[in-house]
Amino acid sequence: MGNQKVWFVTGASRGLGLSLVKQLLAAGESVAATSRNKQELINAVGQNTDHFLPLHVDLASEESVARAIQKTHDTFRHIDVVVNNAGYGIGGSIEELTDQEIRASFDVNVFGMLNVIRHVLPFLRARQSGHIINISSIAGIAAGTGWSIYAATKFAVMGLSEVLAQDVKSFGINVTVVAPGAFRTSFLTPESLILAKHPIAAYEDVRASHAKYLTMDGAQAGDPEKAVAVLIQTASQPNPPLYLLLGSDAYQRALRKVELLGDAFSTQEEVAASTDFKQLTPLF
Ligand SMILES: NC(=O)c1ccc[n+]([C@@H]2O[C@H](COP(=O)([O-])OP(=O)(O)OC[C@H]3O[C@@H](n4cnc5c(N)ncnc54)[C@H](OP(=O)(O)O)[C@@H]3O)[C@@H](O)[C@H]2O)c1
C-alpha cells in the first residue's frame, strides 16, 4: 500500500462524507466508509475496488462500531485517519423539542463519535500515530437562535476534541476539530434536519431563523468538494491544526465570537479574583 493512508469515514452516503470518500479513492487512498444504508453508499460511491470497504454501521451501537473498526483493521492492517463526519441538524427551542428527539441527536452527533474514538484509539495507540478529525460546526463556536440542541451537540464535539488532543498527544496522535459554515450538501433537507414538531407560536425569532436557513438550501456559499480537499491536505500535514474553520462565514462568525468573549471576560477580572481564598496555589 506504499505511503497511501487508510481512512475511516462515518456518514458517507451523502454530502461531505461522500465527497471525501470519492476524492480519497481517486487519490488511491484506502477507505472504510460507514453508512446506515450500505447499498445506498455503494451506489453513491459508484466504484468497487479493493481500496474501498463499505460498512453498514449504526453509530449509536457500540457493538456495531466496534465490529466496523475491527473489520477495517483486518482488511487494511492499520488505520491512519478517522473522520467523524456523520451528524444531523435539529432545530427548535428547548421547550419545543422532546427528550427523545434531543437524546437521539446526541446519540448520533456525540455518542456515535465517542463510540468510534473509544474503539479506534487502541489501534492508533499501538502504532503511536494517527489523526482523528471530528466534524463540529460553526454552531459549535457561535450558534444562533433556534439551534440550541444542535449547538449543544457541536459544542460537545469542540470540548471533547480539545481535551482529546491533549490526552493523546504523547501517543503521536493528532486531533483536528472542524467548524464548517454553510456548505451545499443535503444538510438543510428534511433527510438531515429535523425541526420541532410542536412549535409554540410565541417563539417568533426561532421560526424566522429556521425559515431563513431553509431558504438557504442549495444556495450555501460553501463548496463541499473544496472543503474535502482542505481536509485531505490537512491530514497530510506533519503538525495539523487543532481548529479548522471552513467557509468565510465560519471565519467571520468565529472571530466575532472571540471578540464578544474578550469583551465579556475582560470586565470580570476583579469579580473573578474576588472569590479566591487568599494565598492559594491555583489548581488549573
Ligand atoms: N453542510 C453544512 O452546512 C454543515 C455545516 C456545519 C457542520 N456540518 C456537519 O458536517 C457533517 C456532514 O454533514 P453534511 O453537510 O455532509 O450533511 P448531509 O449531506 O446531510 O450528510 C450527513 C451524513 O451524516 C449521516 N447522518 C445523517 N443523519 C444521521 C442519523 N440520524 N444517524 C446516523 N447518521 C446520520 C448520513 O450518513 P448515512 O446516511 O450514510 O448513514 C449522511 O451521509 C455533519 O456532522 C454536520 O453536522 C455541516
Decide: 87 in ligand 1 pocket, CB within 6 A.
yes
For residue 34, the SS3 value is: strand
Which residue blocks in 85-223 are alpha helix, DSSP H? 99-106, 113-127, 148-168, 204-215
Q: Is the pTM of this model over 0.85?
A: yes
- Closest Cα to residue 65, out of 147, 135, 137, 123? 123
H-assigned helices in the chain: 15-26, 38-45, 62-76, 99-106, 113-127, 148-168, 204-215, 224-235, 248-266, 269-273
Nearest to 12 by CA among 82, 63, 97: 82
Structural domains of the chain ordered from first start: 6-250 (3.40.50.720)
pLDDT (tens, 9 = 90+) of the chain, 284 residues, equals 457 899 999 999 999 999 999 999 999 999 999 999 999 999 999 988 999 999 999 999 999 999 999 999 999 999 999 999 999 999 999 999 999 999 999 999 999 999 999 999 999 999 999 999 999 999 999 999 999 999 999 999 999 999 999 999 999 999 999 999 999 999 999 988 999 999 999 999 999 999 999 998 999 999 999 999 999 999 999 999 999 999 999 999 999 999 999 999 999 999 999 999 987 676 66
Report the side by side order of strands in the sheet with 30-35. Answer: 52-56, 30-35, 6-9, 81-84, 130-135, 173-180, 243-246
Q: Given the CA of residue 13, which atom of ligand 1 is nearest to it?
A: 40
pLDDT attached to residue 2: 53
Ligand 1 geometric centre to CA of 217 (Å) = 14
What pLDDT was estimated at residue 280? Answer: 66
Which pLDDT does position 48 carry in this prediction? 84
Nearest to 132 by CA among 166, 161, 163: 161
In this predicted structure, what is the pLDDT of residue 191? 87
CA-proximal residue: ligand 1, atom 1 (nearest): 183
The answer, yes or no, to whether any atom of ligand 1 lies below 6 A from the CB of 137, is: yes
Note if 213 is an active site residue.
Answer: no
